Amino acid sequence: MDPVTIDTTKIRMTKRKPETALEKLEDTNLINTLLAAKDREGFILLTTIDQAMNWGRLSSLWPVTSGLACCAIEMMAVSMAHHDIARFGMEVFRASPRQADLMFVAGTVTKRMAPRVKQLYEMMSEPKWVISVGSCANTGGPYHESYCVLKGVDNIIPVDVYIPGCPPRPEAWLYGIIQLREKIKNEGYGAKWGLNK
Amino acid sequence: MNSAEELKYLLPNSVVSVGVQTNKPQAVIRKEDFLKVAEKVKELGYDNLSVITGVDRVDRIEVIYNLFSYKKKQNLALKVVLDHRSPEVDSVTSIWKVADWLERETYDLVGVKFNGHPDLKRILLPEGWIGHPLRKDYDMNTEQFVTIGEDGEDIVSPDGSNLLRRK
Ligand code: SF4
């Protein structure tokens, strides 16, 4: 067989100006977004609204008031004026899980407390996030060999961000909160498909 | 003469031995006479029972009562040595009211039975927990989980499928 040769003279290098309505639409990025959404059988509207929703969610994360052990003392320090989580819109610790979208699991999850923590998590309305704070909530920590402590809160509820430390310093909390904001920013269809950046 | 020696002088037959443990005078009491000795000690002015501890020494179980007198500003520790298989001692709730909860705690974690206690049941762990965890022979290999029942009561079971996430 003859080797394939390409006649380069036939390739038009200049881009034609869009003339018809369809060509004009193709020229914008919107058509690509719509086509990408159509390929994935997804929700076209959500891809663009997601961004706005994520912004709203991450700017007013309200944690539920719940502390389990010594790490909860550090949670109080974080919420006070010196470290000031009000700048993330998070200073409103809600007394009811129905009004909260974030749970800090701050402290030792004992066997007896575990079903209560799970219930609290289930009572929170969607969307909801969990930050596990301290070695106790992450793995059992100092009480890993104990008869009455759960070996990590991720055994009972899903966790988004783990903050190590015993207890973690407030700076570590703030870093963890920033990681969660980063995560929320990248949620939804738009971000998943590489659109809406 | 410290407070334990004073007790030995007053009740020579009931006090087995005296000594000092972590700077506190300590008297080892015969368990049959324990209630009688406790009454005497209360009369001597030891009005505050601060803590009751149970210790598993593998061949025996010791129960230690830490007392303090506000009048004399003195400490005294009473100790009874019990049989490991069936640790039983008389309750002192009739003498010190606080012993109610302290004895329940010792019962819960070490498994000492206090005869004459008005309401001897677990205080920290939920009812239905198997074993007394501060015993040296406590089985650490079977995990026990707690779930909440219909009426909000705790249910203990080795099967945690209601609680744990499916992975
Ligand atoms: S991680 Fe450390 S500070 Fe936090 S609850 Fe556990 S023991 Fe306390």
How far is B162 from chain A, CA to nearest CA, in Å? 9
* pLDDT (0 to 100) of residue B7: 87
In tens, the pLDDT along B28-50 reads: 999 898 999 999 999 998 999 99
Nearest CA distance, B117 vs chain A (angstrom)? 26
Say whether pTM exceeds 0.80.
Answer: no
Report the residue from A114, A145, A148 with minimal CB separation from B163. Answer: A114
- Identify the pLDDT of residue A116: 92
- Chain A, 164 to 183: residues with Cβ < 8 Å from chain B are none
- CB of A93 closer than 8 Å to CB of A63: yes
Is A197's Cβ below 8 Å from some Cβ in B? no
Place of tokens 């008005």: B118
Given a contact cutoff of 8 angstroms between Cβ atoms, the answer to whether B131 and B138 are in contact is: yes
Contacts of A148 in chain B (CB under 8 A): 125, 133
**Residues contacting B75, CB < 8 A, separation 6+:** B3, B24, B25, B66, B67, B68
pLDDT of residue A13: 54
pLDDT at A197: 45
Residues A14-63: tens digit of each pLDDT = 566 777 777 766 665 566 666 666 665 555 566 667 777 788 888 888 99
Assess A157–B contact: CB distance below 8 Å, yes or no: yes
Asked if A111 and A148 touch (Cβ cutoff 8 Å), the reply is yes
What pLDDT is attached to residue B150?
86
Q: How many helices (H) and strands (E) does chain A have?
A: 8, 3
Number of neighbouring beta carbons within 10 Å of residue B131: 15
| Residues B133, B139, B145, B146, Cα dihedral to 10° | -30
This model of the complex carries an ipTM of: 0.80
Nearest alpha carbon, ligand 1 atom 6: A136
Q: What angle do CA B163, B166, B167 make, to 5 degrees?
A: 135
